[in-house]
Amino acid sequence: MTQAAPIVSEPDVVRDGAALEVLHRVFGYPAFRGYQAEIIAELLAGRDALVLMPTGGGKSLCYQVPALVRDGVGVVISPLIALMQDQVDALRALGVRAGFLNSTQDAGQRQQVERAFLAGELDLLYLAPERLRVESTAQLLDRGTIALFAIDEAHCVAQWGHDFRPDYLALSTIHERWPEVPRIALTATATDATRAEIATRLNLTEARHFVASFDRPNIAYRIVGKDQPRQQLMDLIHAEHAGDAGIVYCLSRSSVEATAEFLNAHGIPALPYHAGLDARVRAANQSRFLREEGVVMVATIAFGMGIDKPDVRFVAHLDLPKSVEGYYQETGRAGRDGLPSTAWLAYGLADVVQQRKMIETSDGDAAHRRRLGSHLDAMLALCETVECRRSQLLAYFGEPGGPCGNCDTCLVPAESWDGTVAAQKVLSAVFRLDRERRQRFGAGHVVDILLGKHTAKVDQFGHHALSVFGIGTELRDGEWRGVVRQLLAQGLLSVEGDHGTLGLTNHSAAVLYRGREVRFRREPERTRSASRTSGSKRPAVDLPQEAVGVFERLRAWRAATAAEQGIPAYVVFHDATLRQIAILNPGDLQGLGRVSGVGENKLAKYGEQILATLHSG
Ligand code: ADP
Ligand code: ZN
Q: What pLDDT digit, counting tens, does each position of 268-308 carry?
A: 999 999 999 999 999 999 999 998 889 999 999 989 888 88
Q: Whose alpha carbon is nearest atom 14 of ligand 1?
A: 337
pLDDT at 8: 40
Task: Specify whether 115 is located in the same domain as 227.
Answer: no
pLDDT at position 29, please?
A: 95
Residue 541 has pLDDT above 60, yes or no: no
* Residue 536 within any structural domain of the chain: no
pLDDT at residue 44 greater than cutoff 60: yes
Same domain, 192 and 73: yes
Q: What is the mean pLDDT of residues 589-611?
A: 95
Of 91, 145, 137, nearest in space to 121 by CA: 145
Q: Does the residue 378 lie in any domain? A: no
CA angle 397/400/406 to nearest 5° reads: 90
Rounded to the nearest angstrom, the distance between the alpha carbon of 308 and the centre of ligand 1 is 10
Same domain? For 421 and 410 the reply is: no
User: What residue's CA is closest to ligand 1, atom 26?
Assistant: 29
Residue 219 Cα to ligand 2 middle (Å): 11
- Mean pLDDT value across residues 393-420: 91
**In angstroms, rounded to a whole number, what is the distance separating the alpha carbons of residues 442 and 501?**
5
pLDDT tens readout for residues 204-261:
999 999 999 999 999 999 999 998 999 999 999 999 999 999 999 999 999 999 999 9
pLDDT interval class at 2 (50, 70, 90): very low
On whether residue 507 sits in a domain, the answer given is: yes
Whether residue 96 is predicted with pLDDT greater than 90 in this model: the reply is: yes
The model's pTM: 0.85
**Distance, CA 256 to ligand 1 centroid (Å)?**
30
In a domain, 134, yes or no: yes
406 and 340 in a single domain? The answer is yes
DSSP string, 398-456: T------SSBHHHHS---EEE-HHHHHHHHHHHHHHHTSTTS---HHHHHHHHHT---H
Could you tell me what percent of the chain has a pLDDT over 90? 69
44 and 124 part of one domain: yes
pLDDT tens track for 224-236: 999 899 999 999 9
Q: Residue 17 belongs to what H/E stretch?
A: helix 10-22
In a domain, 130, yes or no: yes
Residues 405 and 445 in one domain: no
Same-domain pairing of 248 and 259: yes
Evaluate if residue 527 carries a pLDDT over 50: no
Domain identity same for 392 and 513: no
* Lowest pLDDT segment from 32-46, 96-110, 351-365: 351-365
Determine the Cα–Cα distance for residues 552 and 338; give it in Å rounded to an integer: 20
Determine the distance separating the centroid of ligand 2 and the alpha carbon of 487, expressed in angstroms: 24
Provide the domain count of the chain.
Answer: 4
Ligand 1 atom with the smallest distance to the CA of 55 is: 4
Residue ID of nearest Cα to ligand 1 atom 5: 58
Specify the residue with its C-alpha closest to ligand 1, atom 25. Answer: 29
pLDDT at 408: 94
Average pLDDT, the chain: 89
199 and 229 in a single domain? The answer is: no
Same domain, 152 and 167: yes
Q: Which of 211, 227, 247 is the last residue of a domain?
A: 211
| Contacts made by residues 580-585, CB under 8 angstroms, sequence distance 24+ | 581/550, 581/554, 581/610, 581/614, 582/543, 582/547, 582/548, 582/550, 582/551, 582/554, 583/543, 583/544, 583/547, 585/547, 585/550, 585/614
Ligand closest to Cα of 403 equals: 2
* Interval between CA 581 and ligand 1 midpoint (Å): 19
Q: Which of 360, 393, 414 is the last residue of a domain?
A: 414
C-alpha of residue 411 to centroid of ligand 2, in Å: 7
Q: Whose CA is nearest to atom 16 of ligand 1?
A: 58
Residues 56, 184, single domain; the answer is yes
Q: What integer pLDDT is reported at residue 526 of this predicted model?
A: 53
Q: How far is the CA of 191 from the centre of ligand 1 (A)?
A: 22
Ligand 1 atom with the shortest distance to the CA of 57: 3
Residues with CB under 6 A from ligand 1: 29, 32-33, 36, 53, 55-61, 308, 310, 336-337, 574, 596
pLDDT in tens, 454-500: 999 999 989 999 999 999 999 999 889 889 988 988 889 988 766 77
- CATH code of residue 512: 1.10.10.10
Domain boundary among 414, 433, 462: 414
Whether residue 149 has pLDDT greater than 90: yes
What confidence score (pLDDT) does residue 524 get? 64
Say if residue 515's pLDDT is above 90. Answer: no
Give yes or no: residues 408 and 503 share one domain. Answer: no
Q: Which ligand 1 atom is the nearest neighbour of the CA of 54?
A: 3
Instruction: Provide the residue range defining the domain that includes 601.
Output: 545-615
